[in-house]
Amino acid sequence: MAGKFNVSKGKDGKDYFVLKAGNGEVILQSQGYKSADGCMNGIESVKTHAADEANFECREAKDGRKYFVLKASNGQEIGRSQMYKSESGCMNGIASVAKNAQDSSVEVEREDA
């Protein structure tokens, strides 16, 4: 089963996306975007930048858990992961984003649906 980007509107009125792996697990989430077009550009940026492992950065949270961020070539953060217990989990998450981002479909959640 292929991955999928889900786009939705947050309570703050901004547009957000998450990338889900084929098993439905969220593997990357975005910042808030002021417009739907900006959000779609963010998805395209994930597809472009996820192919290069150098664009990922594994970080450590204050509680010791690991997470990663995906950055664009200009250094701006495009998205970040969930928390992982280990660095190997973090690295597996990076590999999953790299694998799933390219061919993932985009599904927009409608408020009126």
Distance from first CA to last CA of the chain, Å, rounded? 25
Residue 61 has pLDDT above 60, yes or no: yes
Q: Please say whether the beta carbons of 6 and 17 come within 8 A.
A: yes
Whole-angstrom CA distances from 108 to 7, 64, 92 are 5, 34, 27
Q: What CATH number was assigned to the domain covering residues 4-108?
A: 2.30.29.80
Q: Could you tell me where the DSSP H helices lie in 1-113?
A: 36-49, 87-101
Contacts of 76 by beta carbon, 8 Å cutoff, 6+ apart: none
pLDDT, tens digit (0-9, with 9 covering 90-100), for 73-105: 999 999 999 999 999 999 999 999 999 998 899
pLDDT, tens digit (0-9, with 9 covering 90-100), for 9-60: 999 999 999 999 989 999 999 999 999 999 999 999 999 999 999 999 999 9
Quick one: pLDDT band at residue 111, thresholds 50, 70, 90?
low
Helix, strand, or coil (residue 48) = helix
pLDDT at res. 29: 97
Q: What pTM was estimated for this model as a whole?
A: 0.90
